[in-house]
Structure 1
Amino acid sequence: MDAAQRRISTDVDGDVWRVVLDRPDAGNAIDLALADALVDALEQRPARTRTVLLLGNGPRFCVGGDVAGMAAAPDRAAFIGALANRWHDAVRAVITCPVPVVAGVQGAVAGAGIGLVGACDLVVCARSTKIRPAYGAIGLSPDGGTSWALARTLGAPRALDLMLTNGTLSAADAHAAGLVARLADDDRLTDEATALAHLVAAGPVRAMVRTRGLVRRAATTTLDAQLDEEARLIVASAADAESAEGIAAFAGKRAADFGGTR
């Protein structure tokens, strides 16, 4: 793919792999090029990095699907279907990323951008951000995991109220509901999201990923099944070099250095 069409910029910041949605003139609207580029960026994460930091260039994090492209498509259903399926590959790549994913979001998060936010492990949200499903305004049902993210955090009644009335969720309400983990002043968003990404990268990232899986499955499994899975994963963690370092550091009354474990 031509570099000018990649729609994503990446760089290494110490132990953090920074991935930036980079289509600011279009509000980082999702087209096939952006979806492809996000999948590629996650697959190309340098092995030495221990956290992904996902940001959006410009005043808006992501306004959802590229409606201009939809309007121009000769076969709209085929176009939207191909775009949704490729975007779902990107969302799955975030969910299954082998290291934690931290996001910093600002301005506007709409449509399938909400599903992307819901797939991240920790989200820092600028206080002025507005979150709007927006599908109803163009006669579409949700995609990108948006219905999953909203139902999981708001509950079905509030999620339906938001989606069926084309409503807007404030950053404060998104934080209270648990859709985002932290709020930041607008001018501090990137700094605080970056600091959080580095904090996470300094921790036991493999244990964190196991924890992520347990938490995401907890809502759809029985307590008995969850106990079995916790037992299996804590044994896996105990056999990991992270555990050896953590326990040795605790016993030696020193700070653990998880970055050196492989």
Structure 2
Amino acid sequence: MTTSDVLLTADADGVRTLTLNRPQAYNSLTVELKERLLAELRAAAEDADVRAVVLTGSGRAFCAGQDLKEHVGLLQANDPAPLHTVSDHYNPIVHAIMDLPKPVIAAVNGTAAGAGAAFAYASDLRIAASSSSFLMAFANVGLGPDSGASWTLQRLIGLGRAAELMLMARTVDSAEALRIGLVGEVVPDEELAARAQSVAAKLAAGPTVAYAKIKHVLSVAAQSSLDDALAAEDAAQTALGATADHTEAVEAFVGKRRPNFQGK
């Protein structure tokens, strides 16, 4: 495990775990933490030894969103940084999560609010601790959604529910989150880390080159016509059909053995 003041990284079984590490501030997002997270996501994308990523938080929260103390302080000091944090930090982080050519699992412990919740929505899978909750509180501070939440949330739970949660700024507990499809699984708090690692390790042992294409075609299909989606699927299947992982999978099926995927 390597450490910095604001982020922890650890590697095991092809899985890189990124842990937001400002527990005394509910892992709220300072400029330093945003820049560090973006750098680590980009590094994970480029590292061939990393085949899946887990994103989580330390202490009692996943991430409470923007650090408002730093935000107000910078504004009062006439620092322009807060006015550019969406374009400089939040948008690139969401792209880094969604475009990462490997599965990203959000292990949501405790509160996930604002941009922190949006990072979970942008992830491929969401596993939540029973004590977790989600909050779109932008309206409470006179702001609209950012970090891709307007795009991701309605695709997870539908436009009507997304509008309700954003307009009413209502907290969603883990039971409701599971019921409405916001998360895929809820586990006891003490089992969250192990469960997320287990799921991530299973994915890391799989055909990661295919996972990258799956993520791509789903993204295309979410914002295009049927013909565009069919074309993206066609291109992906053509490319994947020539991979070593596909050959290995077919040979393993014929040989009645478990495939050994290499992500190639």
TM superposition score normalised by structure 2: 0.92
Higher mean displacement: 133-142 or 152-161? 152-161
* Secondary structure in structure 1 of the residue aligned to 2:146: coil
Taking the aligned partners of 1:182 and 1:76, their CA distance within structure 2 comes to 44
- Which residue is 1:82 aligned to? 84
Say which of 97, 101, 104 aligns to 1:98.
101
- Which residue is 1:59 aligned to? 60
Higher mean displacement: 122-131 or 38-47? 38-47
* Secondary structure in structure 2 of the residue aligned to 1:10: strand
Distance change (3 Å), C-alpha of 1:237 and 1:19 = same
Letter in 1 for 2:25: A
- Which residue is 1:158 aligned to? 161
For the 8 Å contact 2:13–2:204, the answer to whether it is kept is: no
Say which of 170, 173, 191 aligns to 1:170.
173
Shift of 1:98: 2.0
Shift of 1:127: 1.9
Structure 2 unmatched ranges of 5 or more: none
Q: Please list the CA deviations of residues 203-246 of structure 1 after superposition, one character each: whole Å capped at 9, or x if unmatched.
A: 10110111112223323222222222111111111011110111
Does residue 23 of structure 2 align to residue 24 of structure 1?
yes
Shift of 1:256: 0.4
Letter in 2 for 1:194: Q
Taking the aligned partners of 1:161 and 1:221, their CA distance within structure 2 comes to 26
Distance change (3 Å), C-alpha of 1:53 and 1:220 = same
Does residue 197 of structure 2 align to residue 187 of structure 1?
no
Q: Please list the CA deviations of residues 24-57 of structure 1 after superposition, one character each: whole Å capped at 9, or x if unmatched.
A: 1111101111111011112223321211111111
- Which residue is 1:220 aligned to? 223
* Secondary structure in structure 1 of the residue aligned to 2:17: strand
* Secondary structure in structure 2 of the residue aligned to 1:83: helix
Taking the aligned partners of 1:4 and 1:10, their CA distance within structure 2 comes to 9
Distance change (3 Å), C-alpha of 1:261 and 1:97 = closer
TM superposition score normalised by structure 1: 0.92
Moved over 3 A (4+): 75-79
- Which residue is 1:8 aligned to? 7
- Which residue is 1:71 aligned to? 72
Q: How do 1:174-253 residues align onto structure 2 when only pairs under 5 Å count?
A: 174-253=177-256
Taking the aligned partners of 1:219 and 1:20, their CA distance within structure 2 comes to 29
Say which of 142, 147, 157 aligns to 1:144.
147
Taking the aligned partners of 2:79 and 2:132, their CA distance within structure 1 comes to 31
For the 8 Å contact 1:149–1:179, the answer to whether it is kept is: no
Query: How many residues are matched?
Result: 258
Letter in 2 for 1:88: N
Taking the aligned partners of 1:76 and 1:120, their CA distance within structure 2 comes to 34
For the 8 Å contact 1:52–1:197, the answer to whether it is kept is: yes
Taking the aligned partners of 1:212 and 1:194, their CA distance within structure 2 comes to 20
* Secondary structure in structure 1 of the residue aligned to 2:62: coil
Shift of 1:62: 0.3
